[in-house]
Amino acid sequence: MAGKRANGEGSIFPYRNGFAAYVWVTKPDGKRDRKYVYGKTRDEVHDKWVELHQQAKAGPVATNVPTVASYMAYWLAEVVEPNLAPLTYATYETLSRLYIVPGIGTKRLDGRLSVRDVQTWLNKVAKTCQCCAQGKDERRSPKTRKCCAVGRCCQDLPAARTVKGIRAVLRSALSQAEVEELVAKNVAALVKLPPIRSRKGKSWSSEEARAFLEASRDDDDYLYAAYVLVLVLGLRKGEVLGLTWDHINWDGWQKPCTTHGETFCEHCRDNHDISLIIDKQLQRVRGQLLHRATKTEESDAPLPLPAICVAALRHRYQQQQAARVKASDAWHDTGMIFTTRYGLPVEPRNFNRSYDSRIARAGIRKITVHDARRTCGSLLVDLDVHPRVAMAILRHADFSITMEIYSQVSSKTTREALRRLGESLDQ
């Protein structure tokens, strides 16, 4: 008889234009409740019903499954923002708002979101002009519209790294959903993307690095010491701009030299324990200039300062004192090492502009600030410094970046490597 329920299927029943069924399940909070499944045919609902029974036997099952959009909002607000770096949160939120929510935001997290859904959606994103999809040209005033809004599609396709970043954000969110037992598997982790060829980093030779520093020093550039720290110690831009005078341990130089009887003895400066603590960074995130902790504890290790760094920082101190006198009451006492003429922190973008301008004046190849940090590693290799010593200098969290498993290096060996590097640049 059509519509008659078979033995053991007492919970399958006609519902609207199809059928429905329920199973008593234990929710993640330990309470018991009914969970329903729906379909157009009895066979379809029966299969879902059997699968739901298996899930109920395996463990807790969520009865109210959120959509991708609502879960992304929760995940960003309650998991990402309180626990990760502000820049990380800003990046995740942007990718979610511009790509994930508009694309699959209405999908439910459970069986309604499949590997096929995510795969086809990401493939579509990679082929879609984002100027059209996000209305970039449409938001311009009618007089300045120049492409998609006037029928001339600019084919603003997302980069392969952007698509990979979108998948990574969704995968991270669904990993949390797995922990909360909202989904049985992470479908984003099963999606395939084309491989991305990594960009081959550039670096300067010793001669180019020396020419860059000499040009900066000869012009009395207020960022000369910053450039020295990037090239000699491999500091990141944010780390350099986040330095304060309290980060320098001058104790070794403040004591009179037992050999020559001088304070700040130039003859024995390499024998003093002058070190730099790197535990802060300066970042501009969504209009806010943040002075916050570095990303990893490995970045916080103290570094012994070679002679060229000490000399550059002492000169920077003199420059800043002169600027303080000139600014008078307009001076802001922030304690930062690298400041504007009024004592305010240096904007990261302004640092980039000054850096690019200095390269042009020096007449050498243009490389990024991060590549200048990479130059430090290249110079250490040129000086036959052991990779483990290079790791201590560059403060890598994972030694796969520096070719070997992490190994502790004595501060004496590190100081010697930095001294040799400083001498190669300070000629």
Which has more pLDDT, 182 or 409?
182
- What is residue 427's predicted lDDT score, i.e. its pLDDT? 55
Which of 52, 58, 78, 62 minimizes the C-alpha distance to 173?
Answer: 78
Residue 229 predicted with pLDDT over 60: yes
Instruction: Report residue 230 as tokens.
Output: 């990037």
- What is residue 206's predicted lDDT score, i.e. its pLDDT? 77
Averaged pLDDT, 370-391:
63
Which of 306, 280, 276 minimizes the C-alpha distance to 424?
Answer: 306
DSSP state of 86: H
Cα–Cα dist 336/346, whole Å:
9
Confidence band (pLDDT; 50, 70, 90) for 402?
Answer: very low
Instruction: Report residue 10 as tokens.
Output: 């007492």
For 21, other C-beta atoms within 10 Å of its C-beta total: 24
Cα–Cα dist 183/187, whole Å:
9
- What is residue 209's predicted lDDT score, i.e. its pLDDT? 85
- What is residue 24's predicted lDDT score, i.e. its pLDDT? 87
Name the pTM for this structure.
0.71
Residue 398 predicted with pLDDT over 70: no
Which has more pLDDT, 421 or 53?
53
Single-letter amino acid, residue 143: K
User: HSE of 271 in the Cβ direction (CA atoms, 13 Å)?
Assistant: 12
Which of 262, 267, 296 minimizes the C-alpha distance to 281?
Answer: 296
Average confidence score pLDDT of the chain: 81
Number of H helices, E strands in the chain: 17, 8
- What is residue 81's predicted lDDT score, i.e. its pLDDT? 94
Segment among 52-56, 224-228, 339-343, 421-425 with least mean pLDDT: 421-425
Contacts of residue 116, Cβ cutoff 8 Å, sequence gap at least 6: none
Single-letter amino acid, residue 360: A
- For the chain, the distance separating the N- and C-terminal CA atoms, rounded to the nearest angstrom, is 98
Contact present, 96 and 171 (Cβ < 8 Å): no
- What is residue 381's predicted lDDT score, i.e. its pLDDT? 57
Which of 162, 188, 161, 157 minimizes the C-alpha distance to 68?
Answer: 188
Residue 351 predicted with pLDDT over 60: yes
Q: Left if phi > 0, otherwise alpha if psi is -120 to 50, otherwise beta: which for 403?
A: left
Instruction: Report residue 343 as tokens.
Output: 């004592």
- What is residue 411's predicted lDDT score, i.e. its pLDDT? 47
Which tens digit of pLDDT belongs to each residue from 297-328? 655 567 777 777 888 898 999 999 999 999 99
Element containing residue 95 per DSSP (H, E)? helix 86-95
Contact present, 286 and 91 (Cβ < 8 Å): no
Residue 409 predicted with pLDDT over 50: no
Cα–Cα dist 369/427, whole Å:
23
Percentage above 90 pLDDT, the chain = 41
Confidence band (pLDDT; 50, 70, 90) for 248?
Answer: confident
Domains parsed from the chain with CATH numbers: 12-58 (no CATH), 68-190 (1.10.150), 206-425 (1.10.443.10)
For 4, other C-beta atoms within 10 Å of its C-beta total: 7
Which tens digit of pLDDT belongs to each residue from 107-135? 988 767 889 999 999 999 999 999 999 99
Q: Which residues pair with 336 in a beta bridge?
A: 244
Which has more pLDDT, 419 or 94?
94
- What is residue 348's predicted lDDT score, i.e. its pLDDT? 94
Contact present, 241 and 333 (Cβ < 8 Å): no
- Give me the helices (H) in 299-347, please: 307-327
